[in-house]
Amino acid sequence: MTSVSASPRVRLHVEDSGGSGRPVVLIHGWPLSAASWSEQVGPLKDAGYRVVAYDRRGFGRSDTPADGYDYDTLAADLAGVLDDLDLRDVTLVGFSMGGGEVARYVARHGEDRLHSVVFAAAVPPYLMKTDDNPDGPLTEDKAKAMEDGLKADRDRFFDGFTTDFFSVDGDLKVDESQRQDAIALARQSDQTAALGCMKAFATTDFRQDLTRITVPALVLHGDGDGTVPFDGSGKRTHAAVAGSELVVIEDAPHGVNVSHADAFNRALLTFLQR
């Protein structure tokens, strides 16, 4: 079933499998859409879960407002999806940029609707390397180069980005058709949204947000992730969230949910049984 959810400011495209199973809400990475979860939706439904995935504002089939690409607003959009569908006992699964929405949702909206959370190749706790965040894996120079590249030539940028997204040490871990599918999703993104969200995931500090998490948490990451490196992100998130579980998938790139879908799904389904 496909529905459209109304947030206070924008309309979001929401895909809802329906049913009476416990809800799993999938929050996609940048600059993709809910369609990037195609390898997970079927197995989750087959296991009896109600699967909800939505396109972030400015991406896929959702509205493209001129602003609202900060994490407070994006977390409010997520809250609107949960409220509109009256979802309870939810597991939030945030991939890459989507992990930021998970952290900020807990900090701003609490855990009353939540059963558990998953950070998959996710950007928390804080990507940007600063004086008070020396372990941040993203330098200002690299962030500026990404911004300049996207502004200069979207097609060229997305070609290079998706190659890195699915590669480990230059070795592409997916079929070329899968990479082209990701490029097609990236091209659907609104440029204002893509640039606004790029700034948000690069510069937002989630360190205090993570301390608010008390529900069961899984950190799921590829050890070959060159886009959001494990040591600077997943490893630190695992340390910051008390009692969290950690699964590191060997020889997996950033796009681990596609490149290593079987291992990713096994880890996710095992965790969901908690």
Active-site choice (96, 189, 244, 259): 96
Confidence of residue 9 (pLDDT cuts 50, 70, 90): low
**For position 265, what pLDDT does the model report?**
98
Nearest residue to 62 (alpha-carbon basis) of 1, 4, 149: 4
For the segment 66-71, the average pLDDT, to the nearest whole number, is: 97
CA 24 – CA 37 distance, rounded (Å): 12
Residue 72, pLDDT above cutoff 70: yes
- The answer to whether 254 is a known catalytic residue is yes
Predicted pLDDT of residue 76:
96
pLDDT of residue 2: 52
pLDDT tens column, 170-208 = 999 999 999 999 999 999 999 999 999 999 999 999 999
pLDDT band at 37 (very low <50, low <70, confident <90, very high): very high
Question: Is 116 a residue of the active site?
Answer: no
Above 80 in pLDDT, residue 7? Answer: no
Helices (H), the chain: 38-46, 71-84, 97-109, 140-152, 154-165, 176-187, 191-203, 207-210, 234-240, 256-259, 261-272
Question: Over the stretch 12-21, which tens digit does the pLDDT of each residue have?
Answer: 999 999 999 9
The pLDDT, as a whole number, for residue 4 is 56
The reported pLDDT for the residue numbered 274 is 87
Tokens at residue 165, please?
């997204």
Q: Is 225 a catalytic residue?
A: yes
What integer best gives the mean pLDDT of the chain? 96
In degrees and rounded to multiples of 5, residue 133 shows phi and psi of: -140, 65
Could you give the CA distance from residue 63 to residue 154 in angstroms, rounded to a whole number? 20
Report pLDDT digits (tens) over 93-125.
999 999 999 999 999 999 999 999 999 999 999
Structure tokens at 41: 């939706």
Which residue in 225, 238, 244, 260 is the catalytic one?
225
Q: Give the model's pLDDT for residue 255.
A: 98
What is the total count of domains within the chain?
1
Q: Which residue range is the domain that position 174 belongs to?
A: 2-272
144-165 exposure pattern, b = at least 16 Cβ within 10 A, e = fewer: eebbeebeeebeebbeebbebb
Question: Is residue 232's pLDDT more than 80?
Answer: yes
Which of the four pLDDT bands, split at 50, 70 and 90, describes residue 6?
very low
pLDDT at 3: 53
Query: What CATH number should be reported for the domain holding residue 14?
Result: 3.40.50.1820
